[in-house]
Amino acid sequence: MELRALLRLLWRRRKLMAWVFGVVCGGLALLTLMAETQYVSSAKVYLYHSSTKASLLSRISLDSPMAGSASLTDTERSTYEDLATTVPVLRPVIRELHLARKRKSLQLVEFIPFVRYLFDHFAPDLGRRAMTYEELTNKSLVHLIFPRPYIKAAMVEDSDILEFSSSADSLELSIALANAAARSFVARETAMRQDECRLLAEAVDKELPRARAAFNQALDEQRDLRRREKIVDLSTAGEQLVTRYYTLTSDRDANRLSLIKARGMLANVKAQLAKRPEYRKTSQSLQRSGLIDSVKLTLRDLYMDLASARTRMTAEHPAVKEIENKIAEAKRIIKGEAQKVFGSETVSTDPTYSYLSERGAEYTAQVAGYESQDEAYGTLLAALEKEAEAHPAKLAADALVAVKVDARQTFVNNLNLLASTAAAGEGLDLSLAHMVEPATIPGKIDDYKRPKLSLMLAVGVLLGGFLAVVAALVAAYVDEAVSGTAGAREAGTTPLGCVPRRDRAARGQALRRLREALCPAGDDGARLLVVAAADEAVTAAETYGLVLDLGRTVARSGRTTLVVDADLRRPGLAVAAGLPAGPGLAEALEGETPLASVLVPGDEPSLWILPAATAPVAGDAADRLMDGPALRRVLAELAGRFDRVLVCAAPCSRSGDALTLSRLAGGMVLVAGLYRTPGPVLARAASEALAATGRAPYALLDGAPDDDLTPREQWLAIRRRLRRAKAAPAV
């Protein structure tokens, strides 16, 4: 039942729904036809970790050890997707293609038919200006009306392919834009890798002279010692001492090598940040961090404890594990503090800066750890050197010097290898990005046009249908019109039911029920009834027709019935009854004509009609007649002469005649249009009648839910009109 009521509600609002649907669907179709055609293209770039490149990058610490996997991680996918549409990638594209856009004023003029064709062929540069990065990457609903070149990048789902999608007013420009963006991204990614290698090579070149000087110094010390001492063998204690020293020296040199790499990476990040003035940082901000300095001291002590513990315990011992966990926690604290410093003057909406600040914080933590280890190794080695000098066997000193020479030689060799590897990386293509599918001219160009008429029509049908239903529901929700007897009862009246207008048989039966309700058999109390419309939503013709039909129904029951037209300003009962104009109630109230002479017999044996007047009465004159003493006398005489008197008054919203008449009558009937008369209007008329007479008025609804045509009847009516139009002779 609820579904049926909903369908009936929508059918009743079909005109509103048709208008909304037509406006939405037709508007989208018209906009599609008038909008400038855009062509879309796409170029695809494959991102993968090459095993050869990953090996080279990991040796110089430009990539993590986990990069050996060919697939990207989720973080890498998100980072590459953001970096693909940054300023360093797209600004060269704008310069290369000389991208320009039409001004909105020109695009508005081009909506005039044939104007766009004239401008494109005879004044192609008129009204155009250079595009900006923001205009190239931002798109909104306005872009549909005022199109311009556009580029976006997104990772293809469940793959490591980065797709560049572009749109432009020509297919050639769209293809060129997608390919240029893909090439620029690959070139930018390659340049970043090569810059990292270059900066690392510069850092190694600065360290090499100091390492060679230390190596030469160790050689000199070895020569001096061997000249002074004649060494044959090492004692057992000396061997242990040298072994410990050699181990610590190797660990220190490896740590220094890692420190150089980390410093090179940190310098690279700072150099890239320095190129972005809006996010520029100074190294003093890191140096002034008290927390980082204090944690560095803690790290140094922890590394000393770790080295001491490893000489006495295995690597799996709980005490060793506990110290390693404390070291990892200290590094996390340094990294977090570095991230605060790098990110304190900007927001995280820039993907390039977020990427660089993350790497900068990581390298800062690594540098702090390596520096702390270096200090710890220095302290431990100094202690071993003192122990070696005090060792009874002087031969240990020679072994110690030899170990120094070997260690520093190894360090120099590693630096040379690192320098050669970094120098080789500067000239290699280390990029992970490779274009695998450039944009080309498609086989079916219509599929790459936007907006697409078929798609927009489908969207228009769906959106128009949805908005039409919403409009109908909203209109029904805000509509205050009386929709049934319940609404009439809420307005403070006694509902008498509905009188259909279309079905004559149903109308006759409804009038019979109304007759029995208003004029029950044997009841002579309510001889005179006032009938008036609550407002002008019920037309005068509908009111007169309803009163005449009710009078005929009452007259058929054998009662003498009189229908009186009391609307002196706009008389219409005589016309509705098919009577000629003549004197009526106005002349009888003035005393110019006897009352009996103005009574006209109706089309039923017991039905009589009293017209209003020969001609409409002016406002003031009509008020004097209705408020004069003659009205009471005339109505009393009519009530004594007829069994039932039905007085048709002017609508309550226009005149107060109905209230004046209701004081002299036995009852009052307010006529409200079903789905037409607002509930507050009916309630106001009912409250006025209650105040005037002390009785709640009756309410009669003009119309019934079945008056509306069914969908089948509506379709048949349309077919009949079409057949008549087709059969009509041409003029």
Where among 342, 360, 393 does a domain terminate? 393
CA distances from 675 to 180, 514, 670, 684 (A): 64, 20, 15, 17
- 290-344 confidence digits (pLDDT tens): 677 777 777 777 777 777 777 667 777 777 777 878 788 877 777 777 666 655 5
Choose between 710 and 63: higher pLDDT.
Answer: 710
Same-domain check for residues 264 and 383: yes
Check residue 547 and give its pLDDT: 94
Same-domain check for residues 662 and 690: yes
Given a contact cutoff of 8 angstroms between Cβ atoms, the answer to whether 565 and 611 are in contact is yes
pLDDT band per the 50, 70, 90 thresholds, residue 582: confident
Same-domain check for residues 368 and 474: no
Q: What is the DSSP letter of 555?
A: H
Q: Which residue(s) pair with 648 in the sheet? A: 531, 565
Angle at 250 between CA 249 and CA 256, to 5 degrees: 85
The 3-state DSSP composition of the chain as helix, strand, coil percent (nearest 5) reads: 65, 10, 25
Q: What is the 3-state secondary structure (H, E, C) of 5-47?
A: HHHHHHHHCHHHHHHHHHHHHHHHHHHHHHCCCEEEEEEEEEE
Report the side by side order of strands in the sheet with 698-702.
494-499, 698-702, 667-673, 528-533, 644-648, 561-565, 607-610, 600-601
Highest mean pLDDT among 84-93, 270-279, 716-725: 84-93
What contacts 71, CB < 8 A, 6 or more positions away? Answer: 48, 49, 160
The stretches of 390-484 forming alpha helices (DSSP H) are 395-426, 453-478
Has residue 704 been placed in a domain?
yes
Same-domain check for residues 511 and 645: yes
Has residue 206 been placed in a domain?
no
- 668-683 confidence digits (pLDDT tens): 999 999 989 999 999 9
Same-domain check for residues 597 and 700: yes
Given a contact cutoff of 8 angstroms between Cβ atoms, the answer to whether 678 and 481 are in contact is yes
Has residue 148 been placed in a domain?
no
Same-domain check for residues 497 and 623: yes
Has residue 126 been placed in a domain?
no
- 238-294 confidence digits (pLDDT tens): 667 777 777 778 877 777 777 787 777 777 777 776 666 544 544 445 444 667 777
- 507-532 confidence digits (pLDDT tens): 999 999 999 888 875 555 568 999 99
Where among 377, 393, 409 does a domain terminate? 393
CA distances from 390 to 89, 94, 379, 605 (A): 64, 73, 17, 149
Query: From CA 175, how far away is CA 439, in angstroms rounded?
Result: 5
Query: From CA 327, how far away is CA 304, in angstroms rounded?
Result: 11
Burial class of 559 by CB neighbour count within 10 A (0 to 12, 13 to 18, 19+): middle
What is the domain range of residue 666?
485-713
Has residue 176 been placed in a domain?
no
Has residue 322 been placed in a domain?
yes
pLDDT band per the 50, 70, 90 thresholds, residue 189: confident
Percent of the chain topping pLDDT 70 = 85
Q: Name the least confident of 176-180, 426-430, 662-666.
A: 426-430
CATH of the domain at 627: 3.40.50.300
Q: What is the total count of domains within the chain?
A: 3
Coil, strand or helix at 264: helix
Query: From CA 306, how far away is CA 564, in angstroms rounded?
Result: 116
Same-domain check for residues 571 and 653: yes
Same-domain check for residues 472 and 499: no
Has residue 586 been placed in a domain?
yes
Has residue 450 been placed in a domain?
no
Element holding 172 (H helix, E strand): helix 171-228
Same-domain check for residues 490 and 381: no
Same-domain check for residues 469 and 528: no
Same-domain check for residues 583 and 655: yes
Check residue 670 and give its pLDDT: 95
Same-domain check for residues 472 and 591: no
Where among 359, 393, 427 does a domain terminate? 393
